[in-house]
Amino acid sequence: MSSLILLLQTSFRNIFSSFLNVVIGLIILFGTLFFVVGGSMVDSMDKSMSRSIIGSIAGNAQVYQASSTDSPALFEGWQIPDLDPIPDFSKVKGPLMSDPNVAAVVPEGINTAIVVYGNTIDQILEKLRKAETNHEPKEKIESLKSHIRQMVSVIQTDMGKLDKIASKGAMDPEAYKDISKASSPAFWDSFNKDPFGHLEFLENKIAYLVPDSDQIFLSYVGTDLDSFTKSFDRLQIVDGQAVPKGHRGMLLSKYVYENQFKLKAANRLDQIREAVVEKNKKIAKDPDLQDLIKQNRNQTREIVLQLDPLSTQKVMAVLQTTLGSKETDLPKLLSAFFDTNDDNFLGRYKVFYDQIAPYLELYRLKPGEMLTIKAYTKSGFVQAVNVKIYGTFQFKGLEKSSTAGSMSLMDLMSFRDLYGYVTPEKIAETKSLEKAAGAQFVSRDKAEADLFGGSDVEQTTQTKINDKTEMGGGTKLKRADLVNRVYSADEMEQGVAMGAAILLKDPSKLKETMKNLQAICDKDNLGLKVIDWQKAAGNLGQFVFVAKFILYLATAIIFVVALVIINNAVVMATLQRVREIGTMRAIGAQRTFVLSMVLIETVVLGLVFGTVGVCLGSGFVLWLGHSGVPAGNDFLYFFFSGPRLYPGLSVGSLIGAFVVVLLVTCLSALYPAVMATRVQPIQAMASED
C-alpha cells in the first residue's frame, strides 16, 4: 500500500515535469472533450428525431403485411413502398389492442397525387359562369366582366411586347384574331345575349394564352382522421377545422399550403422575412435572397391579372405613395416596389400585407372548398376523387420542417378510392349497374359458348341515360352524397389498410411490446410484421446510426493517433530516465515496481487530462443545453424536433470517455513499461561516466 501511495505521489509530481507529458495530456484532453460533446449531441439528436418521427406519422411501431416486397418507408417522398394491403383492418385491430401497453392502433397508408389548377383567368371565368348560372346580382356579374376585360387587355399588351422581340411567325396568327375579338367593344356589347357562348369562346380561345397554370404534387396519408387526431397529440389545426368524425375530407399540411397554394410573390416575401428577422441574414450578402427579390421584380403578372379595374386604381395609389412616384404603369410600379434591400424590406413587407394583400386572393384554395385529386391506383390507371378541404394542420415544434410537413391527411374511404380498393359505394354502384344492364355471371368453361356460340341471343332494351344515371342505368354517385355521408367506425375499419401505427402507453417498453405483438400476430395467423419507428422511417431513421458510426470512427482515429503518439512519447521519456531507473534498480527496486511506476504515471497523466477534458466537454454541453444549437435548414429542423437542439449530458458518454482514456493510456504505456524493466544498474553507471 505504501508503495502505491509513493507511486501515485511520484506520478502527480511528474505530470508537468516534461514537455512530452503536456503534449500527451493535451491529446487526451481533446479526445475526451470530443467524445463527450459528440456523444451527447448524437444521443440528444436520437431522442429529438425519435420525437419527430413518432409524433408525426410513425408512432412507436408499425405493422404491415409480412408478404410485402418492401417495408414501410414513411419519409421517402415519392418512392411509395410496394406493400401488400391488410385485407380487413378490423380483424387485426382487436388482437393488437389486446396488449396492455398498446394505447392506439391507427390505420395508415401513403400515396401521392396530382392536383391541376387552372390559371388566373380560368378561375375568374369559372366565377363568372357560376354567377350567370345562379343569376347572381347584376353588380357582381358586371364586376367580373370588367375584371376579365382588363385581363384580356393585359394579355393583348403582353402579346404586343412579345411580338416585338420574338422571331417572325413565333405567335399563332389565330391568337391575334382571337384576342382582338375578345378585346373589341362589340364582343362585350353582345355578351348578355349569349353569355355562355361568349364564356366558351374565352375559355377555349383566350385562357390558354396565360401560361400560369400549375401542377401540384401532393403526398398524403390515408387514415382514420378522428383516431389519428386523438392519438398524435402534436397535431394542431391551424386554419379551418378538423374533419368531422366519420366524414370524408382532407387536412392539408400547413407547410404545403403555404408553399404550394399561396400567391408566389407573397410566399417569397415570407421566405425573405424569415431569413432577415429570424436568421439575421443580410440581403446584400445573401445570393439566395437576392434571387427571390429578382423573381418578385420580374414576375408581377400573377398580381396584375388578379386585380379588377377598381382594385387596380387603389393598388396603384398605394404603390405611388410608397414609392413617391407618378408612374401609371402597374407592372413597373410593382417591379419597383419589390426591388427591396436591407433598409426598406420590412417596411415594404408591411405595406404589402396591410394595403395590397386585401385586394388579392392570397390562396388558390380556402378551407371548405372542394379539391379534385388524381392519383395512380395500384393497377396503374388514374383515379380521381373530389375531396372537401376542411382546414390545415401542423405538428407542434415541427412547423417549418419540410420533412414533417410534406404529408397531408386524407380520410380512409377517399384513400381507398384513389388507391383502387373497393369501398361500399363502389360495391353498391357495381350491383346497380349489373342489375340495370341485366348482366349475368358466366362460368369460365361455358364462357365461349354462352357469349359467342348460341343463336338465341337475348336482346337487351335500350336504357335512356340522363344526369341521374350512369352507363347501364345505375344510380349515379352524387358528390354531395359522398361529402355529407357519415361513416360508422365499423365501416371505416372493415376495409383494407396499408399498415398501422401503434402508439404505446410506456414507450420505454418498446422492445418487449414488439415481441409480444409479433407473438400475437404469429399465433392468430394475422400475417403481419412488427417493426420499430426507426425501421419504419426508412433511410431517415438510420441517420442516427450513421451519425454514431461517424462519431465513433472519428473518436477511434483520434485515439489511435493518440495511442501511437503517447507510445512514442513515453518511450522517449523512458529513454531520458535510463539513469534514474538504473539507479532505482541498483538500490533494490524490483522489475514489478518499475513496471508499475511507468504504467501508473501514464494512467494518472491520462486520467488528469481526461478529467479536465470531460469537465470542459460537460461544461460546453451544459452551455449548449441552455443556449441551444440553431437548426440551419429544414433537414436539421426535423432532426432537432424544432428550431433548436438543446443537448443534455449523456451518462454513457461520460463513462465511455473514462473507459477509452484508461484503455488507450494502458495500451500506450505497456511497451515502454516493459522496456523500462530491462534497464540494468550498469547502464546508470555508464551514463554517469
Chain centre to alpha carbon of residue 401:
6
Contact 89, 493 (CB under 8 A): yes
Higher pLDDT, 170 or 371: 371
pLDDT confidence band for 474 (50 / 70 / 90): very low
Is the pLDDT at 648 greater than 70? The verdict is yes
Contact 560, 659 (CB under 8 A): no
Cβ neighbours, 10 Å, residue 279: 11
Average pLDDT over residues 427-454: 60
pLDDT of the residue at 393: 95
Higher pLDDT, 133 or 437: 133
pLDDT of the residue at 154: 84
Cβ neighbours, 10 Å, residue 659: 11
Exposure class string for 14-50: b at 16+ Cβ within 10 A, else e = bbeeeebbeebbebbbbbbbbbbbbbbbbbbbbebbb
Is the pLDDT at 468 greater than 50? The verdict is no
pLDDT confidence band for 465 (50 / 70 / 90): very low
Contact 73, 498 (CB under 8 A): no
Phi, psi of 119 (to 5 degrees): -80, -175
pLDDT of the residue at 475: 39
pLDDT confidence band for 55 (50 / 70 / 90): confident
pLDDT confidence band for 159 (50 / 70 / 90): confident
pLDDT digits (tens, 9 = 90+) for 548-583: 777 677 767 766 776 677 667 666 666 666 666 666
Contact 419, 375 (CB under 8 A): yes
Range with the poorest average pLDDT among 220-229, 235-244, 680-689:
680-689
What's the rounded Cα separation, in Å, for the pair 591 and 576?
Answer: 18
DSSP string, 577-611: THHHHHHHHHTT--HHHHHHHHHHHHHHHHHHHHH
pLDDT of the residue at 470: 38
pLDDT of the residue at 404: 82
Average pLDDT over residues 264-282: 92
Give the residue among 42, 75, 51 at the shortest CA–CA distance from 398.
Answer: 51
Is the pLDDT at 513 greater than 70? The verdict is yes
pLDDT of the residue at 616: 92
Average pLDDT over residues 540-551: 72
The rounded percent of the chain whose pLDDT value lies above 90 is 32
pLDDT of the residue at 471: 33
Residue 644 Ramachandran class (φ > 0 left, ψ -120 to 50 alpha, else beta): beta
Average pLDDT over residues 90-118: 89
Is the pLDDT at 434 greater than 90? The verdict is no
Cβ neighbours, 10 Å, residue 495: 22
Strands 214-223 and 407-411: parallel
pLDDT of the residue at 267: 95
Is the pLDDT at 123 greater than 90? The verdict is no
pLDDT of the residue at 466: 43
Exposure class string for 508-535: b at 16+ Cβ within 10 A, else e = eebeebbebbbebbeeeebbbbbbbbbb
pLDDT of the residue at 139: 87
Is the pLDDT at 264 greater than 80? The verdict is yes
Sign of CA dihedral 417, 423, 425, 430: positive
What's the rounded Cα separation, in Å, for the pair 679 and 688?
Answer: 14
The rounded percent of the chain whose pLDDT value lies above 70 is 77
pLDDT digits (tens, 9 = 90+) for 229-247: 999 988 999 999 999 999 9
Average pLDDT over residues 348-361: 95
Higher pLDDT, 683 or 144: 144
Average pLDDT over residues 69-93: 83
pLDDT of the residue at 225: 94
Q: Name the average pLDDT for the chain.
A: 81
Chain centre to alpha carbon of residue 280:
24
pLDDT confidence band for 495 (50 / 70 / 90): confident
Chain centre to alpha carbon of residue 371:
22
What residue type is assigned to position 584 of the chain? M
Average pLDDT over residues 415-437: 67
Contact 56, 409 (CB under 8 A): no
Average pLDDT over residues 71-92: 82
pLDDT of the residue at 353: 96
Is the pLDDT at 83 greater than 90? The verdict is no
pLDDT of the residue at 233: 85
Cβ neighbours, 10 Å, residue 287: 8
H/E run at residue 316: helix 309-323
What's the rounded Cα separation, in Å, for the pair 348 and 597?
Answer: 75
pLDDT of the residue at 374: 85
Average pLDDT over residues 580-598: 68
pLDDT confidence band for 602 (50 / 70 / 90): confident
pLDDT of the residue at 346: 95
pLDDT of the residue at 357: 95
Give the residue among 558, 665, 656, 657 at the shortest CA–CA distance from 601.
Answer: 665
Largest Cα–Cα separation, the chain? 130
Is the pLDDT at 478 greater than 70? The verdict is no
Higher pLDDT, 366 or 462: 366
Scanning the structure block, which residue is given the C-alpha cell 355578351? 191
pLDDT of the residue at 120: 78
And the C-alpha cell for 239?
A: 386554419
Cβ neighbours, 10 Å, residue 314: 14
| Rg of the chain on CA atoms, in Å | 37
pLDDT of the residue at 554: 75
- Selection from 38-42, 175-179, 241-245, 376-380 with the highest mean pLDDT: 241-245
Is the pLDDT at 457 greater than 90? The verdict is no
